Structure formats: C-alpha cells, structure tokens
Structure 1
Amino acid sequence: MSAMLDIRGLKKAYRRKAALRGIDLAVEEHEILALLGPTGAGKSSTLLAAAGLVEPDAGTIRLAGRDVTGAEASSRDVSIVFEGFNLLPVLNVRDNIAFALRSPKYREAEAEIARRVGRTAELLRIAHLLDRDTGTLSGGERQRVSIARALVRRPLLYLLDEPLSALDLKLREGLRAELRQIHREHGTTMLYATHDYHGAIAIADRIAIIDEGRILQTGTIEAIYARPAEAFVGRLVGSPSMAFFEAELRDGGLLVKGFGAPLALSRFGRLAAANGPVTLGVWPEDIVVGEEGEPGRVYAVDNRGYEVAIQIETPAGSFRKVLEGRRPVGQGDTIRVRIGEGAGFLFDATSGARVSHQGERA
C-alpha cells in the first residue's frame, strides 16, 4: 500500500502555545487509521491542517502523492465530519445530504445525486427521514445526517473528528459498524480522531497514539500491546488499562515496592537503564489472581453480571482487573496477585519511555 495522506514534521502553535510539535503520520490507501488521544492532544489540529482549514507553521502535507501544504482547502479532495452537526436548517435531510453534490465544484446530475443520496441514507438507516426538516430530528439522527453528507461524496480521504462522541453508547456502536461497512463496500480511506479507546479498536485497522502534539506510537493494537513505546500508551489503551507498580533496579534484580521477592531481570530482555527507580507496567490480563502471590486489597467491586471488575490496591500501586464468571469477591477482601511468567515492561520513572526490550535485538 501507499500513503494516501503523508504528514511530516507538522508544527502548529496558537498564541505561542504549541499544539503540534513535529507530527509524523501516514494514512495508507484504503485503511482506517484512528488518531487516539485525550482532549487537547492535537487531534483536531492535525485534521484541520490536513483539510487545509488551518495553516501549519512548519512541515509538509502530501495527499495522494501531491504536496498540498500550501494549497487551498477547496482544492483538496477531502471530506470532514466534526463532532457538531453543522446542518443547514433551511434545507431538509435530503437536500442537506445532497448539498455538496450540487455545488459548482461537483455539479452531479440529479439522477446520480438521487441514487447516491438514497444509497448513503440506506447505509446509515435514515432513508425514512429524507423528507424531514432537520429541526425535528433527534441528536443521533442529526449526526447520521451529518455523516451521510460527508460520505455521499467519494473523496480521496475522509477526516472524522470525534464524530460519535456526543451520542449514547448504543448509537455509537451502531454507527461504528455502519462506517466499517461503508469502508468495506467502497475501499475508503479514513483518518478517525477519537479519545475513545473502544471506538478506536472497533473501527480502525491501525492506531496512532497522540499526546501533547506528538505521535507516541503507531501500529495495530496487537503490535502496541506487544511493545508499548511509553507508559502513557499503557494508560490510554486496554480495558482495563495497564497496571503500574513502583519499582527499583538494584543488585541485578527488580525490587517491586511491597513485594516479598525481587523479579529476575532476564524476563525483561535487554535493558536501557542502570540501577535506580523504574515503573513496572503489566497488562491486567497478565496478572493472576489466586491463592499465591503478593498481597493486595480489593478497593472496589463492579459486578457486571457475567463478570466482575475489581480495583486492587497494593503497596506498589493500584489497578483494575476483570474476573470472568461469578467469582465471589467483596470490597475490603484480601487478595493475592502474581505477575505471569514473561509478562511486564519497564519504563523510565521520569520520562515514561520504555527501557526494557524483550525479544528485540540491540
């Protein structure tokens, strides 16, 4: 595959406050790439720059191999959906969706407009709303219309900026499935910005994790799980997210605060750190709860019927873990935890960078 969108060294500041600090990002043709990060991480600025709606201070943007860094937004063949609905109140649903196709730039034939509007409305399950005024629609219905207005075109790239965040869980899940279906049918290319980990893994082929205007890691969720680049990555992905424990490299072993015995350093592969404090990160799935291990206390219990999510406190740190089945556990119970063989990553206690390199060559 070749990159449909290729961003290199992108920088942007607003009133001298840096929003983007040298973004490198490539969206391959026919893929959905999720840009995952918290509020204020730089997701919207990245999409706005790609669309030509803000001018970057430095860096290059290439679309389908063409340098569009300084090009007008109208000359870039992209379609963008924002979190807000942005519908035209004077037009009904049908004409809102068809609006771009009737613009001077596209001027599609009315028969083709009718076909594409009808097909897109069917995919998003709003065909029965086509003759309704937008003011009579629910929030979920308006967002479907907003998405339909973008999808009815066939641009080189779709830019979706938190398009589902204002909707309830059931609507979000339904629309994610419909976006995936549209992607399968038409081979579209999408850059999907979200703060929602579950939404990212449900729709995306790959994920790019962004924080404070920097891309921290890009890859499939499997690759990110296998080698998280930074502690922040572990805090953002996973359900529950990574468990972290205070630890120290000393005398050829890893001493975890409150643990009875040190962990062998051989399990962490090559180390890029000397003696001193580190953070041990472990995916909760790799922590065994049972009769053996280090003591902890159940701080909170979330009974979900078919499973139980518990928060466990230890001297080295607290974490959440999901227990399958109806396991009897109560708040305040003493529980024992053990880190599975070969599991865990070491991170620099200050910078958060991963310093253990299991299975990686020097």
Structure 2
Amino acid sequence: MSEVRLQNLSKAFGDTIAVEDVTMTVPDGAFVTLLGPTGAGKTTILRLISGLESADSGDIVIGGRSVADETPAQRNVAMVFQQYSLYPHMSVKDNLAFPLRSPLLKTPEDQIQRKVAEVADVLRISHKLNNKATELSGGEMQRVSIGRALVRNPNIYLMDEPLSSLDAKLRSDLRIELKRIQESLGATLLYVTHDQIEAMTMSTHVGVLDNGRMVQFGSPREIYEDPINLYVAGRLGQPRINILPADMFAGSPDGARQMGLRPEHIQQGEGKPTTVKRVEHLGDQIRLHLKLEGHDVVTLTHPNSELEAGDTVAIQPRNPLYFDASGARII
C-alpha cells in the first residue's frame, strides 16, 4: 500500500468543470471517503487517480512517485465499480483469478489458487467458488466484485459506490465487512459515496466535495462537529441538521444569520414552546417532528416518551452552530 497525494488537480469536460484545484492526501493504510451529491466530482477524481482520465493540470503522486504520465496498468491501482462487472459464464473462482492471469502480472498458477482461496475466505464466499456468477445473490456478486480487486496487491483500492445498488440490509452488512477487510489487510482505500452513513461509519477521513472543489477534509468526527460552512454541516447527520434564524434564541454572535442545531443538541423541558407534529418510534429512540414559530425542527427523545402529535414541548439550543449570510461558519 502507498500514500496517495493529489496536488492542485483539475479536470474539465468542455465547459463543465468536474474537478477544480483539488489537493488531498490519502494516508497509507487509511480509509478515505469522498462525500457529495451527484456531479460533485467524486467519480472523476477516482478516474483521474486510476488513469482512466487525464488531468488538465496538477499532479498525482502515488508512493512518492508522480504517475501523471503513466498508464493505468503502470499505476498499480485496483478499482471496484458500482455495477458488479463479473464474467457471467465464469465460476466465482475464475472471476477472482482473472486479474491475476493478466499477461502483465504473469502470476504462477499455484500462487493464484492460494490467493483466491485466501480472498474467498476473507469475503466468506469459499463455499461459492464453483458457482457460476449468475447463480449468486446481489450481495454475493458484489463480494466477488470486491474480491477481484482484493486478490491483487495494488498501491490503492478505488471504490465507486460499490454498495449503492444493494438493499438496506445488505448495505449494512457489507459496510461492516468492508471495514473489517480494510483493517485486516491494512489497505489504503479511497471510497466514493453520497451516503453519509457509509462516510461516518467506515472512514478514517472524509473529503466533502461541492461542484468539483474540496470544501473540507478531516476525520468524520471533525466534519460532523466542526463543519467549515453550512453546506458541510448539511452533508453529515441523520436526521439532518436543523437550520433556524440566528435570532430565534438569545445569544447569537455578531454577523450570524442562521443557526444550525443537531437533533441531539436540542434540550427539552425549557425554552420556547413548540407543537409536536409527528412522532416516529425507532425502537431505541423516538424522533420528534416539531413546529417552532413556523419552522420545522427534528429532535430526539428517549424511547419511553409519551409525547403525541398535538402536544406542546419547550425546547432550547445546546451547542448551536452559527453561520453568516454566505453560509460560512462563525466560531
């Protein structure tokens, strides 16, 4: 594995700027997630690192070596796509072995068999090795697709929303599996998603993108607790952060126009009265949908709460975030 550095990387397609002056370091052995909506530039960054696209300007350094002029094969990266990209007529074993049988790698057959067996064991699909790809479930197919990358020993794994086409239960299971695999291999991994839960639960670092620019880069906790602006604050957190006028409660700093309140940062029992509009019972907690002076507010309460729609509950902020008219954070 290797450290990967992007230095002032830019890429445009005609008049559309896909990536603009992005500088970022993926530390050796880190799990870095690029987070942002469709069109933010996430996939383009992966394609630039892999060599599938050429940068207009800037540099890509892998393991201390500039790879800007190298082919995808010379860069030694492994990419996993959103779709499974398996050969349907081949068995699971042959699908896993296929990258190792490349004329460029010239891997001896005994090493291929050993590596396939090791990866199948890590992915917990050893019992499926003789099955055709078409005989697998969606989750098993995606495991094989990930396994095709794992059999290699690349400088970095690049993964482009590999779990997005799976149902919620499979996504949850494979999130845990993928993080376990990354940690056990000590792999350097750059992962693209628009799913904030994936970003929060798997990453050592998160890069938040907006219209091709890197807005903030840091640990998931840093991004969540100390966002640089309103856009970043809205990218992480479920339920989403509540945005209210800054003067809704006393104590806003000079220049503040909006207040951001995480659901867990709303204290109940004192403060301004709100009306309960809806109650969501989630088992371990209750999500309250409130109306405060015409504004929607979502907060959390304990699972034994007896509040119902139509009730009144007083709330006040705890540790609010403040933003100016442009959306920039006011500390």
TM-score of the superposition, structure 2-length normalised? 0.95
Aligned-pair CA distance for 1:348? 2.1
Q: 2:320 aligns with which of 335, 344, 355?
A: 344
Q: Is the 8 A contact 1:306 1:326 kept in 2?
A: no
Q: Is the 8 A contact 2:2 2:29 kept in 1?
A: no
Corresponding residue for 2:257? 278
Corresponding residue for 1:167? 166
Corresponding residue for 1:61? 60
TM-aligned CA distance change 1:3 to 1:245, over 3 Å:
farther
Matches within 5 A, 1:1-362: 4-247=3-246, 255-256=247-248, 259=249, 262-263=250-251, 265=253, 273=255, 278-290=257-269, 292-315=270-293, 317-340=295-318, 343-349=319-325, 351-354=326-329, 356-357=330-331
- Deviations 1:297-349 (CA, angstroms, capped at 9, x unpaired): 22322111332112222237323222122211222322211112xx1121122
- Deviations 1:167-212 (CA, angstroms, capped at 9, x unpaired): 1222222222222222222211000111111111221111111121
Q: Is the 8 A contact 2:258 2:322 kept in 1?
A: yes
Q: Is the 8 A contact 2:281 2:303 kept in 1?
A: no
- Deviations 1:56-95 (CA, angstroms, capped at 9, x unpaired): 2222111111111232111111000010011112321111
Counterpart amino acid of 1:169? A
Counterpart amino acid of 1:32? F
Q: Is the 8 A contact 1:10 1:60 kept in 2?
A: yes
User: What number of residue pairs does the alignment pair up?
Assistant: 331
Moved over 3 A (4+): none
- Deviations 1:265-292 (CA, angstroms, capped at 9, x unpaired): 3xxxxx6x4xxx61111222111122x1
Task: Give, in whole Å, the separation in 1 of the partners of 2:252 and 2:198.
Answer: 37
Task: Give, in whole Å, the separation in 2 of the partners of 1:319 and 1:76.
Answer: 49
Q: Is the 8 A contact 2:252 2:322 kept in 1?
A: no
Q: CA RMSD in A?
A: 1.8
Task: Give, in whole Å, the separation in 1 of the partners of 2:277 and 2:210.
Answer: 30
Counterpart amino acid of 2:264? E
TM-aligned CA distance change 1:88 to 1:218, over 3 Å:
same
Counterpart amino acid of 1:101? L
Q: Is the 8 A contact 1:246 1:317 kept in 2?
A: no
Structure 1 range deviating more: 328-337 or 228-237: 328-337
Counterpart amino acid of 1:113? I
Counterpart amino acid of 2:143? R
Counterpart amino acid of 1:263? G
Q: Is the 8 A contact 1:246 1:316 kept in 2?
A: no
TM-aligned CA distance change 1:176 to 1:306, over 3 Å:
closer
Q: Is the 8 A contact 2:81 2:159 kept in 1?
A: yes
Task: Give, in whole Å, the separation in 2 of the partners of 1:149 and 1:155.
Answer: 12
Flag structure 2 segments of 5+ consecutive residues without an equivalent: none
Structure 1 range deviating more: 121-130 or 325-334: 325-334
Task: Give, in whole Å, the separation in 1 of the partners of 2:301 and 2:291.
Answer: 16
Q: Is the 8 A contact 1:124 1:175 kept in 2?
A: no
Aligned-pair CA distance for 1:264? 5.4
Corresponding residue for 1:360? none
- Deviations 1:10-44 (CA, angstroms, capped at 9, x unpaired): 21222311111221111000111111112221110
Q: Is the 8 A contact 1:305 1:326 kept in 2?
A: no
Counterpart amino acid of 1:353? A
TM-score of the superposition, structure 1-length normalised? 0.87
Helix, strand or coil for the counterpart of 1:135?
helix
Counterpart amino acid of 2:185? H
**Aligned sequence identity (%):** 37
Task: Give, in whole Å, the separation in 1 of the partners of 2:315 and 2:206.
Answer: 31
Task: Give, in whole Å, the separation in 2 of the partners of 1:103 and 1:48.
Answer: 21
Aligned-pair CA distance for 1:234? 1.3
